[in-house]
Chains A and B, each alone.
Chain A
Amino acid sequence: MSEQPSGRTGSGSKREFHHPEEVLAFVEGIRESNRRAIGRYEQYVEQVGDLTGEGFSSDGTVRAEVDHDGIVAALDIPDTALRRGRYLAEMILTAIREAQAARALKLAELGSALGAGRTLEMVREAIPEHVRDAVEQHRERHR
């Protein structure tokens, strides 16, 4: 029993072929679509490679920076912040968490541009609202 060759288009609908050239053109179309996806992935890899995050304590005096792996790379503590005594540890933690949240959000936004489904929504949900608000306020200020 012979059957017409067929393929699925990007929208999932079934397509039937009548000539070998149509099959070849269909396969080449898939390859071209994969090439474009690799191009978008390449751009993502380049952007992610340099992706760092910056965050601040609630009073803006302590600044933290995380590297492309999300690990704390720098902490700027002004001498005046030392006067905050036992509150200083919490100020440092706030700055670090905000820097990591800022990087995670940027990473998820890049992933969304690549077509990574609900990633951005899930990352936003995982970050406490007050940290997310602080990240967005700092972004607004630097726009």
Chain B
Amino acid sequence: MDPHAMTERTRRIQEAITEASVEVTSDDHAVTVVVGPGGAVRDLHLSTRAFHYGGAELGQVVVATIRAANTRMAEELSAIMADILGAGTRPPFAPLPTPAQLRTQLDGGDGGAR
């Protein structure tokens, strides 16, 4: 790939990750959260309805709202990445190989001993 195109792509990915933000409000309008990538919770607002709950219930509503926002964040980031990298491209955050896969490569292959 042309180095300039690669730099531009990296810049767009960094910008997308820095700016990505999702706001979700619980169905009862008690809790509003703003989340960023990687599980970051940027803001939390509790309306007067939140104080109709007991502490334990409110904790559950906040957790559920944050998790719903995180799910949407992951979907949006995935769409942004597909847009930048092109559909069908392997995502940049592919899982790391497992120790078993590495052992197979080391002992099952030629180990690079040529």
Taking Cβ atoms with an 8 Å cutoff, the residues of A that contact B are 24, 27, 30-31, 34-35, 38-39, 41-42, 45, 66, 69-82, 85-86, 88-89, 92-93, 96-97, 100
Q: How many A-B residue pairs have CB under 8 A?
A: 75
Residues of B within 8 A of A70 (CB): 38-39
Contacting pair A75 B45 (CB below 8 A): no
Contact with A along B90-104 (1 / 0, CB 8 A): 000000001100110
- A34 and B112 CA atoms in complex are apart in Å by 12
Interchain CB contact (< 8 A) of B63 among A34, A35, A73, A86? A73
Contact residue among B38, B67, B113 (Cβ-Cβ distance under 8 Å from A72) = B67
In the complex, what distance in Å separates the CA atom of A72 from the CA atom of B13? Answer: 25
Our pick among B40, B67, B98 for the contact of A100 (Cβ within 8 Å) is: B40
B66 touches A71 (CB 8 A): yes
Distance, CA A96 to CA B60, complexed state (A) = 14
Interface of B: prevailing SS: helix
Bound-state Cα–Cα, A76 to B45, Å: 17
B59 x A96 contact (CB < 8 A): no
Q: Determine the chain A residues whose CB is within 8 A of the CB of B111 once the complex forms.
A: 27, 30-31
B58 located at the interface, meaning its Cβ lies under 8 Å from any Cβ of chain A in the complex: yes
8 A-B residue contacts at CB 8 Å?
A24-B113, A31-B106, A42-B99, A72-B67, A75-B59, A77-B55, A77-B56, A82-B58
